[in-house]
Amino acid sequence: MPLSDTARRAFDTWPQWHLALDRPPVIIRRLAGGLTNQHYLLNAGGIRVVMRINNTDAARLGIDRQREQKILEQINGQSFAPTVFYCEPRQGVLVTEYVEGTQWQPDSLDNPIKIDHLLELITQIHGVSTGIPLFDYSAHVRNYWQRLRESEKPFPMSAQRLYRGIESHLSAFQAAIKKPVLCHHDLIPANIIEKVSGQLIVLDWEYAGAGLPLIEAIGASRYWQNIAFSERILEHDEDNEALELAGKIVDFYELAWKHLR
């Protein structure tokens, strides 16, 4: 398979991978999907791995590769995350195990048992807090607003209305997060693989960070559009004002992401 210069440089990092390899991996195929990266399925010494080549303009979409690296180091070995064999943001390369299983679909939560499993998964993720770098929602929103203003495409007026409505509250919202926990922030069906054992594995930790479970809950509720799931995951103690503000923050950066991608 012919490779671009970027892909070739990424592939040539193989001697540094945490695998006992005495020869270069073999490319099986390029994987479909992924708006911000390239993915290749490789055979590395009899083990199937995925090599991700980072998009060099990821910062435009609010992705912090150094934060992602620290998180992957902290959760490597957790039952809900794929094993990481190599991660080097400066080289733009991430190599993880290829997870065998079934990718969830948008209607997966029509099965009530899967609602239980997803809620259990989120509880497992939020149970991690030590060593996780902070996710700064205030900076994330402001960065997206700046990117929108710099964009050559006209952005929706709804994005401006949302931003103007939350701008003055962002710093206080961030400062009020006293006990941040690991949040994935992108628990969409495409990022969830169910193994034969029933264990759920979560992919793509680019937007993860120590954050607010309420933001995770609102985001997941928006993605899945399942009433039973939403009722259970949104059982939080926050007052209506905090809930409304968190909802507007999620709405803004989802709208901005769709425009900027």
| pLDDT at residue 130, as a whole number | 93
Among 85, 30, 92, 26, which residue's Cα sits nearest to residue 59? Answer: 92
| pLDDT at residue 238, as a whole number | 67
Distance from C-alpha of 227 to C-alpha of 231, rounded to nearest angstrom: 6
Q: Give the pLDDT mean for 166-179.
A: 96
Q: Is the pLDDT of residue 55 over 90?
A: no
Q: Are 138 and 173 in contact (CB under 8 A)?
A: yes
| pLDDT at residue 187, as a whole number | 97
- The token pair at 178 is 């006293």
> Mean pLDDT for the chain?
93
Residue 11, amino acid: F
| pLDDT at residue 239, as a whole number | 72
| pLDDT at residue 59, as a whole number | 72
Q: Give the pLDDT mean for 146-154.
A: 90
| pLDDT at residue 33, as a whole number | 66
pLDDT in tens, 101-134: 999 999 999 999 999 999 999 999 999 999 999 9
Distance from C-alpha of 91 to C-alpha of 14, rounded to nearest angstrom: 12
Helices (H) and strands (E) in the chain, counts: 9, 10
Among 124, 130, 136, which residue's Cα sits nearest to residue 71? Answer: 130
pLDDT in tens, 80-89: 999 999 999 9
Q: Which residues is 97 bridged to in the sheet?
A: 49
pLDDT in tens, 195-249: 999 999 999 999 999 999 999 999 999 999 999 999 999 886 667 788 899 999 9
Q: Is the pLDDT of residue 35 over 70?
A: no
- DSSP H helices, 127-239, are 137-150, 157-166, 170-175, 213-224, 227-233
**Number of Cβ within a 10 Å radius of residue 212:** 25
| pLDDT at residue 28, as a whole number | 95
Task: To the nearest 10°, report the CA torsion of 65, 71, 77, 83.
Answer: -10
Q: Which residues is 44 bridged to in the sheet?
A: 47
Q: Is the pLDDT of residue 140 over 90?
A: yes
